[in-house]
Structure 1
Amino acid sequence: MASTKISWMIGGAQGTGVDSSANVFSRAAASYGLYVFGKREYYSNIKGEHSYFSVVISDGKVHSTMDEVHLLATFDSETVVRHAWEVVEGGGIIYDSLAVGEKITSIPTLEKPVLERIQMRLSKEGVGDTIGDVLEVARRNGVRLYPIPYMELLKKVGDKTGEKQLSALARMTNTLAVGASLTLLSIPLTHLETAFSQVFRAKASVVKSNVIAAEAAHEYVMNNFACDFPYRVEPKTKQKQLFISGTSAVALGKIAAGCRFQTYYPITPASDESVYLEDHMVFNLREEYPHVKEMEELDGHGSIVVVQTEDEISAVNMVSGAALAGARASTATSGPGFDLMVEGIGYAGMNEIPIVVTLYQRGGPSTGLPTRHEQGELLFSIFGGHGEFPRIVIASGDIEEAFYDVAKAFNYAERYQTPVIHILDKALANSTMTVDVFDLSKIVIDRGKLVTSWDNSLGEYKRFKFTEDGISYRTVLGVENGIFWNTGDEHDELGHITEEPSTRDRMMEKRMKKLEIADAEIPDSERVILYGDYDAPYLVLSWGSTKGAIIDAVDYLASEGLRFAFAQIKVLNPFPTRFLQNLIPQYKRTIVVEQNFTGQLATLIKARTGIHTDHLIVKYNGRPFSFSEVRDGLREAVIKGTPRIVKRSGG
């Protein structure tokens, strides 16, 4: 049975509570028993510019957002102007009843191209250029209008709370929009207080005031609109779920995987992960380190060491130092920071140091689009750096995967004694969704050939000893008899610098052998995951956070008789060449979906397998693929045969 999905959007000026409003709405819907998926879009400034949050609620699992909006909740004029056109017939717009006379030309943050485009649309409709005119066009298109007297309701809230300052009351305008939304969607307000408590932790007075504001909006909607909103979704079953963001899931994954040292230099969107670790870094370490005497003094409590460094070069090099000392260590960064880390990653590759670099891609090049989405660093992750050295590159497709993939990243790093690049992106980082509660029994720790003592009867310890699989025993700093040397130069088995040709040959071959071993050992089930109809005539290939929109699109198109299989490639290096060489020829046509200009995955498939894929669906305007875009793109590829399709939606 198909699930019912409703798309809700809230917008306003950045810094006015858009994010917290969406958080409250999503948590209330999740508490009600619905599945939730949300995405955040915002400008790279602190306050003032337009920001919005799109949330899909459903009675079944949901993996992506939609272009269509069923209910638009606004508390500023710009959100009405920008997004009223996206509301479907029968959908609704919640807006400030006092704003209808405002001219769209008076909105200072509306960019000229956007303003001109909207003026042209209004002119074609034969109306003026006020907020009321935009709403009139929406009404003609079958959209229901829900004017809310925000100022009047806020004064009533002030009477109940004793708050007389209008500026303080105005901060709850977003709560009025959320309360009105939940009422129209028939989601009981009883779920709101818990949501407010979770968002505004330890602020009982703030929670109380916001509950009163939501109740005021609820009462107004019930009295004036008779709950005439046609879209409804009710939970089919109530099960325990976790509501979480992408960066929080990765941070929790690092704790579960045994990461005990994290560095970062502030950069969007990666910083949120490290900030989360800083906020939740104390936990019980008694069982993990029973031999450490200080555990008694600390009452068994310790933490991940989180260091905000002076730059990205320091961040990656400190991680190598921590790994040499025996800690599971990682750093988190985004594109520009990753560029600066490349030499340090090469140092880890040369010295066979197991580090994990969590890379959150964003729009590039240069500063690019700091708060927007892109998948532009696939090839750079695999090939970046001077000289050749092994590195394993993995990419997570959604928030739930990201949690479990962190442990795999650390296991790969320590098993093969090599850097691991864990690729994520802005869309995944800033998305929120309901997931099954994480199962810690699935987390397995594999530290590879790590030894904490060395017996000289086994011979002199050689950190870089030549072995059949290219992997030597690894000690940590301070182990008796386990002395080793590290240098950025080529070295012999002890670590001493050498330029002797035959040693160089053997050392290069030793290091690169690891990729061959990893290629043989990592199971196909971890490297490529298949979804959809395996016997379909068409195969979709992709990687990273495009997964959700593709799964939703493939499921939808199956109801139209268009059948697709979907191969999500998770381990990008070493590339699953043999698996794909066997898989791809089974299908009539192949379509690659990714968020970059050149089609980097398609390039990699051609380079590694020799197979040229048939169609490419790309997007590079900084906004993630919606389910609707992928659905329409797949239709166009197989029905019209278009070889390259570019998607351009996004506000």
Structure 2
Amino acid sequence: MIGGAQGTGVDSSANIFARAAAMAGLYVFGKREYYSNIKGEHSYFSVVLSESPVHSHMDEVHLLATFDSETVVRHAWEVVRGGGIIYDSMAVGEKISKIPTLEKIVLERVLSRLSREGLGDTVGDVLELAKRSGVALYPIPYMELLKKIGEVIGEKQLSALSRMTNVVAVAASFTILGLPMSALEKAIAQVFRAKARVVKSNVEAANATREYVSRNFLDTFPFKPTVRPTSRQRLFISGTSSVALGKIVAGCRFQTYYPITPASDESVYLEDHDTFNLADHPHIEEAKELDGKGSIVVVQSEDEIAAINMASGAALAGVRAATATSGPGFDLMVEGMGFAGMNEIPVVITLYQRGGPSTGLPTRHEQGELIYSIFGGHGEFPRIVIASGDIEEAFYDTIKAFNYAERYQVPVVHLLDKALANSTMTVEIFDSNRVNIDRGLLHTTWDPSKGEYKRFAFTQDGISPRVALGTPNGIFWNTGDEHDEYGHISEDPTIRDKMMEKRMRKIEVADAEIPDSERVILHGNPDAPNLVLSWGSPKGAIIDAIDYLESQGLHFAFAQIKVLHPFPTRFIQSLLPSYKKTICVEQNYTGQLMTLIRARTGHLVDHLICKYNGRPFSFSELRNALEEAVLKGTPRIVTHAGA
């Protein structure tokens, strides 16, 4: 774990560390936690390294690298026996009560614990308690070391040197863990590739730190990962970047957004990569320009109402269009989503859930919008709601979202969350052979010999031929009102009945056509007596937990529900009777998936494991909670891990 004040390089240092570990051949999973302020408050990044694929973070910390006193005070308790803490040797005398950003409740909790152990109220006392618990201490004189580095690189300004504190902490971590410095140097070069002087300075800092650590501390750290060099290439990527890449490959050519955490990073990535080479992507031939390049228009709108309506306008013009937002923004988009539903517009809404209600926890995690995304809006209109379980799925699901939108001519809500958005992990290179583009009944021309064009023509499956605005002979009207086959406003009761049935029939068709293999993914032991049901980002922690419990003699299957609407009712109904115990795992207070299962299947799930403190499930707490549900029969288990 790496921690410090926001604005001091916590993210960049974790990024360098994780990239370097991935370059060394390890599998990596990273979890980012930060306050909703720009600079000063506590931020930390947890990185898990493994010789085999890893899907989640854990509560136990083996090595804690700190930039400031607050990180020591908040996280020293999480370090396991045999683990280590890297800290600034000048901080040991600092009074805990003098740390300005430490919340009162945390201060009282820490001082109470120190008092019970007969210790004082300084950072050094926290470190002493950690030492008594079997934790190794690695004091590093940051500024003294940085001044020596400054002499080597010809830099005297402390403000400039202090920017390399993060690399000092990372290099110390790499040395203690026994990881190859060559990989760290490559990662530094990649992260700072546009600044040759910065690369050189940071490499010097890394090597000076390695020499200091090697000279001053014994090489006895017990938790060293085994590095197995591999020629196999993998991606190291975040959730928002994965979705953005999915939109590019899907052929999205218009994206709107209003800045909001944690969704904005996706649109910023698209802005940074708004022109790209399409020569090797035959799946999106129609999007290419003559020079083999394409571009995506990214618009930062004045608000979310404009964002959804601009995206709908672009979709009416014939391009694949999307908008990205979080809970408060989705609130404002709901009327516009209803307009898209009424006018059968294929628009994708990427919804990154966060802690609510109201402003809530802007930079924290929750799965609170499942029911809302399915039923939100006045009146009834068709939509499809899907949820990705991890960063790799997010790429492929983004492409499916556009396919569903255009095949069935409906808005599609793609559910993600803060945990997926801000996590990073190593994944296999995305496979273009798994990519298929389905634009549905989109016509580039309309032959008048087929008859007068009717945009909302009544058809057996409810899906009408679609043309882009401006297509010759393809005139149609759009309105928020009920309308006839041409789009003209109509309040005739017969037309109303037929139009409602036409629109809603598309969900019935989607329910029949989308295969169960796309809607529900089964993991774990197929012969297990216990079934876990979940959706979205808990997937990784569940998989890691049930894999561990399998080795301990407790057996679980796991049904990951990916298409939430239309709900896979028949499949889930056939699945549930095969298990003695059913357990829902989700990050909200009420158990929204459990409620949905009861509503759609009539089955009451036996146990609910939930969490709503703004931090994602860890492998550790889910392991314990699943064990408690099975062995003790606890009907509702609330977990609380996370700082």
Tell me the TM-score range normalised by the shorter chain: over 0.9
1:226 CA drift (Å): 2.5
Counterpart pick for 1:564 among 550, 556, 562: 556
Partners of 1:428 and 1:251 in 2: CA distance: 13
Residue matched to 2:186: 194
Residue matched to 2:69: 77
What's the secondary structure of 1:12's corresponding residue? strand
> Does the 8 A contact of 1:37 with 1:64 survive in 2?
yes
What's the secondary structure of 1:544's corresponding residue? coil
Counterpart pick for 2:225 among 229, 233, 236: 233
Residue matched to 1:269: 262
Partners of 1:197 and 1:372 in 2: CA distance: 31
Residue matched to 2:513: 521
Counterpart pick for 1:244 among 224, 237, 248: 237
> Does the 8 A contact of 1:397 with 1:545 survive in 2?
yes
What's the secondary structure of 2:56's corresponding residue? coil
> Does the 8 A contact of 2:582 with 2:607 survive in 1?
yes
Partners of 1:629 and 1:13 in 2: CA distance: 27
Residue matched to 1:4: none
Query: 2:331 is aligned with what amino acid?
Result: D
- Structure 1 residues 456-478: Cα deviation after superposition (integer angstroms, max 9, x where no partner): 11111111010100000001111
Give 5+ residue unaligned stretches, structure 1: 1-8
Query: 1:355 is aligned with what amino acid?
Result: V
Q: Are residues 1:362 and 2:360 paired?
A: no
Query: 1:601 is aligned with what amino acid?
Result: L
Residue matched to 1:131: 123
Q: Are residues 1:637 and 2:594 paired?
A: no
Partners of 1:230 and 1:224 in 2: CA distance: 17
Structure-to-structure mapping, 1:584-603, within 5 angstroms: 584-603=576-595
Residue matched to 1:100: 92
- Kindly tell me: are residues 290 and 617 of structure 1, through their superposed partners in 2, closer, same or farther at Cα, counting changes over 3 Å? closer
Partners of 1:291 and 1:449 in 2: CA distance: 15
1:201 CA drift (Å): 2.9
Partners of 2:238 and 2:134 in 1: CA distance: 34
More off after superposition, 281-290 vs 88-97 = 281-290
Q: Are residues 1:11 and 2:17 paired?
A: no
Residue matched to 1:88: 80
Partners of 2:229 and 2:176 in 1: CA distance: 22
Partners of 1:634 and 1:285 in 2: CA distance: 46
> Does the 8 A contact of 2:172 with 2:209 survive in 1?
yes
More off after superposition, 626-635 vs 166-175 = 166-175
Query: 2:274 is aligned with what amino acid?
Result: M
What's the secondary structure of 2:74's corresponding residue? helix
> Does the 8 A contact of 1:577 with 1:608 survive in 2?
yes
1:285 CA drift (Å): 5.2
Partners of 2:192 and 2:363 in 1: CA distance: 24
Query: 2:459 is aligned with what amino acid?
Result: T
Q: Are residues 1:549 and 2:541 paired?
A: yes
> Does the 8 A contact of 2:24 with 2:229 survive in 1?
no
Give 5+ residue unaligned stretches, structure 2: none
> Does the 8 A contact of 1:221 with 1:227 survive in 2?
no
Residue matched to 2:195: 203
1:639 CA drift (Å): 0.7
> Does the 8 A contact of 1:558 with 1:564 survive in 2?
yes
Query: 1:429 is aligned with what amino acid?
Result: A
Query: 1:382 is aligned with what amino acid?
Result: I
Partners of 1:327 and 1:370 in 2: CA distance: 32
1:302 CA drift (Å): 3.5
Residue matched to 1:185: 177
What's the secondary structure of 1:413's corresponding residue? helix
1:301 CA drift (Å): 3.2
Residue matched to 2:251: 258
Counterpart pick for 2:311 among 304, 319, 330: 319
Residue matched to 2:379: 387
RMSD over equivalenced CA pairs, Å: 1.3
Partners of 2:4 and 2:439 in 1: CA distance: 48
Residue matched to 1:371: 363
Q: Are residues 1:112 and 2:83 paired?
A: no
Residue matched to 2:25: 33
- Structure 1 residues 180-209: Cα deviation after superposition (integer angstroms, max 9, x where no partner): 000000001111122112222301111111
Q: Are residues 1:443 and 2:441 paired?
A: no
- Structure 1 residues 467-493: Cα deviation after superposition (integer angstroms, max 9, x where no partner): 100000001111111111110000001
Partners of 2:611 and 2:190 in 1: CA distance: 35
TM-score by length of 2: 0.98
Structure-to-structure mapping, 1:219-618, within 5 angstroms: 219-236=211-228, 238=230, 239-284=232-277, 295=289, 299-618=291-610
Paired residues, number: 640
> Does the 8 A contact of 2:520 with 2:559 survive in 1?
yes
- Kindly tell me: are residues 290 and 191 of structure 1, through their superposed partners in 2, closer, same or farther at Cα, counting changes over 3 Å? closer
Partners of 1:253 and 1:290 in 2: CA distance: 16
> Does the 8 A contact of 2:92 with 2:124 survive in 1?
yes
Partners of 1:649 and 1:52 in 2: CA distance: 15
Query: 2:460 is aligned with what amino acid?
Result: E
What's the secondary structure of 2:494's corresponding residue? helix
Percent of pairs identical after alignment? 76
Query: 2:486 is aligned with what amino acid?
Result: L
- Structure 1 residues 322-351: Cα deviation after superposition (integer angstroms, max 9, x where no partner): 001100000000000000000000000000
Partners of 2:423 and 2:139 in 1: CA distance: 29
1:291 CA drift (Å): 8.7
Partners of 1:133 and 1:302 in 2: CA distance: 59
1:295 CA drift (Å): 4.3
Partners of 2:259 and 2:543 in 1: CA distance: 33
What's the secondary structure of 1:590's corresponding residue? strand
Partners of 1:352 and 1:367 in 2: CA distance: 31
Partners of 1:613 and 1:86 in 2: CA distance: 33
1:237 CA drift (Å): 5.6
> Does the 8 A contact of 1:158 with 1:164 survive in 2?
yes
Residue matched to 1:5: none
Partners of 1:285 and 1:439 in 2: CA distance: 15
Counterpart pick for 1:156 among 127, 148, 156: 148
